[in-house]
Amino acid sequence: MTTSLLLAAMQIATAGISRPVIRAADTTIVVDTVALREAARPAVAAPRVAFDFGNGLSAPVAARTFEITVNGAPSAPAGARARAVSAVPAAQLRIVRSPDSLSTELARRAVEGARLPEVTIQLPAENAAAGVTVHLYDVQVMSSRLQSNHDDAPLRERQLSLDEAIDQLGVDLDEAQRQLAVIESLRKREMSSSLELARARASVAVLTRKIGIQRERLALLNAELSRWTPVQEESILAAGRVVIDER
């Protein structure tokens, strides 16, 4: 098959697919990078919770997971409304985090029923200027529970798989770079075509991009593993009043 027929066949096979192209002096090569379009998104910071035990808000601590439920005002006759409001909290907050120096105080408050003046939770977004802060007032600690955490097993398995994939891609990239060097040398002596040179360069570019994506995934996974602890604490809070601030 001649070069023109080969290029025509490639154009028909890739019709309707949006792909980047690499242009050489006398031909065009379509580089299939559809599988590489999942660019790593910037990591979003973990939600952070601060507690006021009567001496002002503590330093914010990271929460692994959280759940906020805001309850609507009950519809009741005026005489019974005060009793209904006292029975139904304005909001409930469930947070899971690593145990720390605040754990003992939270457990004590749960046992004694002592309330906290305020609890705040900062909910960051991808855009640093679009976060939300939830203020809970007159807060009661409904429960505080410690439990084992085995979430690291699948994370470490993914870590091993990514390490293996990066190693294999590194081997493939070394070979592609070696072939590119050979073709560039032959091209200088007009012993290879511009089509072969463009293909070799495209192969190196694709493998380089693949390694970059896998390394970004590994960095995100390592960050998640760094926050893992063998024990985690679940706290459930109920608030008499809630205020939501959007920055």
Is residue 200 predicted with pLDDT exceeding 90?
yes
Is residue 232 predicted with pLDDT exceeding 60?
yes
Average pLDDT over residues 214-225: 92
Is residue 42 predicted with pLDDT exceeding 60?
no
Domain 48-148+231-246 bears CATH identifier 3.30.460.80: no
Query: What are the backbone dihedrals phi and psi of residue 155, each rounded to the nearest 5 degrees, phi first?
Result: -65, -40
8 A C-beta contact, residue 239 and residue 119: yes
Q: Pick the closest to residue 32 from 202, 211, 216, 217 (CA basis).
A: 202
- Please, where in the chain does CATH 2.30.110.20 lie? 48-148+231-246
What are 46-105's pLDDT values in tens digits? 889 999 999 999 999 888 888 999 987 665 555 554 454 457 899 999 999 888 888 999
